[in-house]
Structure 1
C-alpha cells in the first residue's frame, strides 16, 4: 500500500494539524458485533500509518477499553508526526464475568469492563490518565467529551451530566490544555444542539461530529458551522458514509444515533445520488468521502475500516478524480442544501 501525500489542516487557533483523512477506532473494537480479531485491528492501524494517515481517534467506550489498547499497540513506536484523540465522560469498572454486567454488551469480545458515566473534574482527570495507560502512550493530542447529549442520557440524565461538565469537567479539560498535556479539547457527539450549547461554558478547539455532515445531511450549515467559524473551532466530520449506506450497505445512522436499516426516503435520496455518480462514472463512496473537506470548518474526515482491504478501498476512493461537473449536478438537482461548499469551488 503506497503512501498518499495527505494535506493537513490546522485545528482552530492551535498549532496542531490533522491530515484531511483520519482513522476511527470504533469498528476496530467490534462495533455492532463486527468480528475484528486483535491482529487484524493492529494491521489496519499499521496500514494507515504506512499510507500516510496522521490522525487517529479512539475512546474508552469502544470495546470497553479494547480499541485504545489495540490502537496503542500499533501506534506506540510510530507516534512522531501523528495526532491522537481519545475521549472522556466514561470510566471503566472491572467485571469478573459476563453475568456481572449491568450495562448491555454492545461489542464483539469487549474487555472485562463496563462503563460508568462521569463528567466531573475528577472523572475527566481519571479518564485521561486511564486512557494513557490503556494506550501505553505518554500523551495524546486531543481530548473530547463523549456522548453528553439528551439522546445518550435522556432529559434528566443529560441535565446532571451537563452540570457536572459545566461545574468541573470543563475546568479539568482546560487545565490539561493550559498545562500543555493536550493540545486541543472539544466534544465528540452526534447531536448539533449540544455543540451550540457548549459555547456557553467554555472555549473549544474542535468538535467531532458523527453522521451529521455528509451527502445525506448538511444541517450543521445552518448555525453550527457559522458559530464554529466565529469562535475559532474546527470540526471533524465523522461518518462520511452515513453509517454505511453511502458505501454500499443498507445501514444508516438516524437521529437516534443507533445504526439501523435505512427508511424509504433515505433509500430514494441515495438512488438519486447514485444516478449522478453513474452519469459521471465515479463511485458514490468516493464522492461521499471527498465531500466533507470542501467546507473550511472541517479539518478532517474520519472513517472506520475494519480491515486493511477496506482501508485500501477507502484510499482508492480518496484518490479518485471527480469531475467538477459532478458537483455542479448535485447543486443543480438540489441534492445538497443551499450554501453547501463543494469540492470544485462552487457553493450550492
Structure 2
C-alpha cells in the first residue's frame, strides 16, 4: 500500500499517507523529540505523502512537519495542507483549544474569502518552509462545523477560497485543489460547483460507513476527481474493536446500530482470519477512485502496526462475504 499511486493525476508519492494531526497534540501531548521520531519512522517505512492543516495544534503540526521537511529531499514527498483558517494572537481573549492537548497559544479564525485564503497560505508557507504546494484542501465547509452558517460559508468558499486557489493553480504555485469535509453530500456539491482535483473524504467511505457510494463516488467518477480516504477507523471503533470501552464513532459514543454493524464485520473478519484493522485500511483501495488513504499517527509503534496491516494479505473470499452481507 505504500507504492506510488500510478493512476493518479496528482501523483501521490505514496498511497498510504501520514496524517499530521497527532503531532499537533490531538488528544495528548507529543514532545518535539517524539514528533521528529514518528515523522522519521514514517518516512523510513515508505510513507511519502504528508498531510497537515493550520488547525492541527493551531499551527504546531505545520511547524513540526516543516522542520522535518528540511531534513529530506522535498522532491521525494507529496505535501498537502488546508485553507479556511488562519491564526492570530488572542490578545487576552479566552480560546477554546478543544481536542488539542498542547497547541500553540493562538486563535484560529475562519475565513474563506480570497484575502483570507491568501493569508492562510502565507502563514502555512512560513511554518512549512515551502513556497509551493502539491495539494491544498478547502477545509471544513460543512454543517457539522458551521451549523446554520453553512450555506453562507459554502458560498464564501466558492467565491473566495476556491477562486484564490484556482489563481494559484493557474500560476503554478499549487499543483492541485481539493476539499476536505466529513459529509459526502457537501463534497458532492463542491465538485459540481467548481473544478477540483481531489476530495478528502473523512469517515464516509469506510468498512463501516459506505454512504459516499450513494452520491460522492458516482459524481467523482463523472468529474474525474480523485478520492483521498481519511478516518478509515471511523475515529476509533475499527481500531479498538467493539469490545473496548474506549471505542468511539465520529469522536463520540457509537450508537447501537453502528455497534451492531461493526460486530457483523468483526465476525466476518474472524471467519477469514483477517485483522479488523487491516481490512479497515485496505477497504478504500478496492475502489480505483481512491488514490490515497491518510492515517493519523503520533506514536512510533502505530507506524509499524499500520504499515504491517496495510500489507496483510486478505483473501478475496473475505471481500465477497463482506459485500454480500451488505453491512
More helix by share: 2
Aligned partners of 1:238 and 1:301 also within 8 Å: yes
List per-residue Cα deviations over 1:217-274 (Å, max 9, x = no partner). Answer: 11111121111111111110001111111111543333xxxx0122222222222111
Matches of 1:334 and 1:171, distance apart in 2:
40
Residue 305 in structure 1 maps to residue 297 in structure 2: yes
Tell me: CA distance 1:177–1:118, structure 2 relative to 1, closer, same or farther (3 Å): same
Runs of 4+ in 1 over 4 A off after TM superposition: none
**Separation of aligned partners in 2, 1:80 and 1:65:** 23
Instruction: Identify the residue that residue 55 of structure 1 maps to in structure 2.
Output: 49
Change (3 A) 1:301 1:15: closer
Aligned to 2:140: 147
Of 270, 275, 280, 1:283 maps to 275
How far apart, in 1, do the equivalents of 2:204 and 2:2 lie?
27
Q: Could you tell me which residue of structure 1 aligns to residue 218 of structure 2?
A: 226
Deviation at 1:328, TM superposition (A): 1.6
1:6 aligned to 2:31?
no
For 2:326 and 2:193, locate their aligned partners in 1 and report how far apart those are by CA, in whole Å. 37
* TM-score normalised by structure 2 residue count: 0.93
Q: Is the contact between residue 188 and residue 207 of structure 1 (CA under 8 Å) also seen in structure 2?
A: yes
- Root mean square deviation, CA, Å: 1.7
Q: CA deviation at 1:10?
A: 4.2
SS at match of 1:77: coil
1:28-67 deviations in whole A, cap 9, x for unaligned? 2122x32322211221111111111111100000000011
CA offsets 1:269-314 (integer angstroms, 9 cap, x no match)? 2221111111122211011111111101111111012111111000
Cα gap change, 1:215/1:44 in structure 2, threshold over 3 Å: closer, same or farther?
same
Partner of 1:260: 252
Q: 1:269 is matched with which residue: 249, 261, 269?
A: 261
Q: State whether residues 30 and 63 of structure 1, in contact with CA within 8 Å, keep that contact through their aligned partners in structure 2.
A: yes
SS at match of 1:36: coil
Contact preservation (8 Å) 1:289, 1:317: yes
Q: Structure 2: give runs of 5+ residues left out of the alignment.
A: none
Give the SS at the match of 2:174.
coil
Q: Distance in 1 between matches of 2:30 and 2:160?
A: 37
Shift of 1:315: 0.7
Q: Given the alignment of the two structures, is residue 170 of structure 1 paired with residue 167 of structure 2, yes or no?
A: no
* 8 Å contact from structure 2 (residues 10, 176) kept in 1: no
Could you say which residue in structure 2 is the equivalent of 1:84? 79
Q: Report whether the alignment pairs 1:74 with 2:71.
A: no
The alignment's TM-score, normalised by the length of structure 1, stands at 0.88
Deviation at 1:15, TM superposition (A): 5.0
Matched residue SS, 1:185: strand
Q: 8 Å contact 1:9–1:20 — kept in the other structure?
A: no
In structure 1, stretches of 5+ residues that fail to align are: 336-348
Cα distance between partner residues in 2 of 1:35 and 1:224: 35
Aligned length: 322
Quote the Cα distance in structure 1 between the aligned partners of 2:285 and 2:225. Answer: 15
2:118 corresponds in structure 1 to 125
CA apart distance, 1:108 = 1.1
Q: Which residue of 199, 208, 212 maps to 2:200?
A: 208
Distance 1:15 1:210, change over 3 A: closer
1:134 corresponds to 2:127: yes
CA distance in 1 between partners of 2:160 and 2:323 (Å): 45
Number of the residue aligned with 1:160: 152
